[in-house]
């Protein structure tokens, strides 16, 4: 692990993930939680305080992390990876909460699929994580208070030479200077849309990714079988 993202979700973490991956870091984001065997159960056990986390196992294939749930454990990650740098993505608090509330409402729209084990496990994890971090995650004043306190604590806790406070509008220059790399020539800084439609797409991938992939494989197999039958008849 070389880069620890300490910024809360909805602060441009998708854009930061995109930027880090352009720079060559494989980056862990919330959407990765359901994509790897054992990760969702391990995170749920950690957040629910039923087990500790083997961080090196979790991030064995990654060099960076952003977004929830890892941002809530940036101190533990700093201790486990003492040479890693820390990036705190920030955003205007009220705009952050509006986006955070949209995320929660989008997640709620998928609760009708709780009968699917994958969806039920993921939603149970979210329902454990958010109250632990925010108390009442739908309370604007409370959530903004937690958001601002977290940002202050990160800046107080992380040594200045190990920390970059970053807004996605800042672009490549401060990020690349901080990481000690060249700005990618001719490549614009990624400003990835994190609106409602994107959130719905991500939610579908998180909850039904395996089914979607299996469906595509089955469709492709069916097309091949039909083609072979037509050619050989």
Q: Determine the pLDDT at residue 46.
A: 98
Looking at the DSSP assignment, which residues form a beta bridge with residue 163? 86
Question: Does 193 have pLDDT greater than 90?
Answer: no
Q: Determine the pLDDT at residue 231.
A: 45
Q: Determine the pLDDT at residue 192.
A: 87
Q: pLDDT band for position 92 (50/70/90)?
A: very high
**What is the model's pTM?**
0.85
Unique residue bearing structure tokens 């039958």: 229
Q: State how far the Cα of 134 lies from the Cα of 69, in Å rounded to an integer.
A: 13
Span 20-37, mean pLDDT? 95
The per-residue pLDDT for range 31-57, each reduced to its tens digit, is: 899 999 999 999 999 999 999 999 999
What distance, in Å, lies between the first and last C-alpha atoms of the chain? 56
The per-residue pLDDT for range 69-79, each reduced to its tens digit, is: 999 999 999 99
Do the Cβ atoms of 27 and 190 come closer than 8 Å? Answer: no
Gyration radius of the chain's alpha carbons: 20
Q: What is the CA angle 92-98-100, rounded to 5?
A: 95
Q: Determine the pLDDT at residue 222.
A: 46
Q: Retrieve residue 159's tokens.
A: 């040594």
Q: CATH fold of 3-232, please?
A: Rossmann fold (3.40.50)
Q: Determine the pLDDT at residue 226.
A: 43
Q: pLDDT band for position 204 (50/70/90)?
A: low
Question: Could you tell me which residue, 96 or 223, shows the higher pLDDT?
Answer: 96
Span 156-170, mean pLDDT? 97
Q: State how far the Cα of 73 lies from the Cα of 81, in Å rounded to an integer.
A: 12
Q: What is the CA angle 14-126-91, rounded to 5?
A: 35
Q: Retrieve residue 154's tokens.
A: 């990160």
Do the Cβ atoms of 113 and 31 come closer than 8 Å? Answer: no
Residue of 206, 147, 133, 164 whose CA lies nearest to 10? 147
Q: pLDDT band for position 118 (50/70/90)?
A: confident
Q: State how far the Cα of 157 lies from the Cα of 84, in Å rounded to an integer.
A: 14
Element (H, E) at 179: helix 172-179
| Residue 200, Ramachandran bin (φ over 0: left; ψ between -120 and 50: alpha; else beta) | alpha
Q: Give me the residue spans of the domains in the chain.
A: 3-232
């Amino acid at each position: 692990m070389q880069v620890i993202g300490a910024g809360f979700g909805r602060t441009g973490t998708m854009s930061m993930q995109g930027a880090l991956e352009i720079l060559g870091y494989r980056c862990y984001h919330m959407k990765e939680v359901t994509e790897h065997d054992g990760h969702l159960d391990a995170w749920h056990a950690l957040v629910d305080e039923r087990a500790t986390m083997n961080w090196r196992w979790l991030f064995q294939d990654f060099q960076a992390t952003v977004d929830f749930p890892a941002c809530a454990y940036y101190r533990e990650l700093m201790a486990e990876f003492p040479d890693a740098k820390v990036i705190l993505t920030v955003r205007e608090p009220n705009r952050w909460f509006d986006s955070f509330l949209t995320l929660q409402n989008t997640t709620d729209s998928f609760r009708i699929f709780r009968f699917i084990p994958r969806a039920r496990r993921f939603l149970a994890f979210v329902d454990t994580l958010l109250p632990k971090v925010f108390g009442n995650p739908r309370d604007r004043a409370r959530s903004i208070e937690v958001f601002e306190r977290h940002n202050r604590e990160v800046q107080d806790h992380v040594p200045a030479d190990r920390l970059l406070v970053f807004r996605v509008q800042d672009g490549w220059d401060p990020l690349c200077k901080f990481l000690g790399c060249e700005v990618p020539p001719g490549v614009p800084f990624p400003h990835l849309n994190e609106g409602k439609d994107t959130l719905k797409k991500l939610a579908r991938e998180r909850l039904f990714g395996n089914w979607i992939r299996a469906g595509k494989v089955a469709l492709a197999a069916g097309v091949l079988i039909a083609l072979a039958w037509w050619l050989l008849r």
